[in-house]
Chain A
Amino acid sequence: MTSLAQFVVTGFTTGATYALVGLGIALIAQVTGVISFAQGEFVMLGGLTFALLEEKGLAAPLAALVAIVLACAVGVVLERLVLPRARAGRTDQTIMLTIGASIVIEGVALVVVGTEPHFARPFTKGSALSVGGVHITPQYVWVVAITAVVLVAMWLLLTRTRVGWAMRATAMDAEAAQLSGISPSRMSLIVFVVAAALGAIGGIVLAPLQSPDAGIGIALGLKGFAAAVIGGLGRPAGAVVGGLALGIVERVAAGYLPGDFSGYSDAIAFALLLLVLLVRPTGLLSALRVERV
Chain B
Amino acid sequence: MAVGLAAVLTLGVGAGCAKQESAASDSTEIPIGVDIEKSGPASVQGEAYERALKLVARQINANGVKVGNQTKKIKLIVRDNKSDPAESLSVAKSLIDNDNVAAIIGGGASPTTMSIVDTVEAKKVPLVSMGSSGAIVQPIDKRKYIFKTPGNTPVIADVMLKQFQRKGIKKIAVLSVDNAYGAAGLKAWQDLDKAGKIDLVDNEKFGDKDKDFTVQVTKAVAKHPDAVVVWAIPPQAGIAAQNLRQAKYPSNQVYFDTGAGAELFVKGAGSASEGMYMVHSRVLAGDQITATTPAAQAEKKFFTDYSRDYGNFSGFAPMAADALSLIVQAITKGGRADRETIRDSLEKLTFDGAFGTYQFSPTNHGGVDESSLALLVVKNGTWTLTS
* A interface list, Cβ under 8 A from B: 3, 6-7, 10, 13-14, 110, 114-117, 119, 121, 127-128, 130, 135, 137, 209-211, 213, 215-216, 219, 251, 254-255, 259-266
Known: A3-B222, A115-B39, A211-B238. A265 touches B210 (CB 8 A): yes
Q: Is the CB of B268 within 8 A of A255?
A: no
CB <8 Å contact, A263 and B44: no
Pairwise interchain contact A117-B235, C-beta atoms closer than 8 A: yes
Residue of A nearest to B48 (CB): A116
What are 30 inter-chain pairs, A to B, with CB distance below 8 A?
A3-B218, A6-B215, A7-B214, A10-B215, A114-B47, A115-B44, A135-B246, A209-B242, A211-B238, A211-B239, A211-B268, A213-B43, A213-B235, A215-B39, A251-B212, A254-B215, A254-B216, A255-B215, A255-B218, A255-B219, A259-B202, A259-B216, A260-B205, A262-B204, A262-B205, A262-B215, A263-B177, A263-B178, A263-B206, A266-B210
| Extra inter-chain contacts (15) besides given A117-B235, A211-B235, A211-B239, CB under 8 Å | A3-B218, A6-B215, A14-B212, A115-B39, A128-B245, A137-B246, A209-B239, A211-B268, A255-B218, A259-B205, A259-B216, A262-B219, A263-B207, A265-B210, A266-B210
Complex Cα gap A260–B38 (Å): 29
Q: Mark B94-120, 1 if CB is under 8 A from A, else 0.
A: 000000000000000000000000000
A215 and B219 in contact (CB under 8 A), knowing A117-B235, A209-B212?
A: no
In the bound assembly, the distance between CA atoms of A137 and B247 in angstroms comes to 9
Do the beta carbons of A211 and B216 come within 8 Å of each other? no
Q: Output the nearest chain A residue to B206 by Cβ-Cβ distance.
A: A263
The count of residues in chain B whose C-beta lies closer than 8 Å to any C-beta of chain A is 40
Most buried by A among B43, B218, B239: B218
Asked if residues A219 and B218 are in contact (CB atoms below 8 Å), the reply is no
Task: List the B side residues contacting A251 at CB < 8 Å.
Answer: 212, 214-215
- Docked complex: B26-65 residues within 8 A CB-CB of A: 38-41, 43-44, 46-47
Closest A residue by C-beta to B178: A263
Is A116 in contact with B270, judged by CB distance below 8 angstroms?
no
Determine whether the beta carbon of A265 is less than 8 Å from that of B207: yes
Docked-complex contact B234 and A117, CB < 8 angstroms: yes
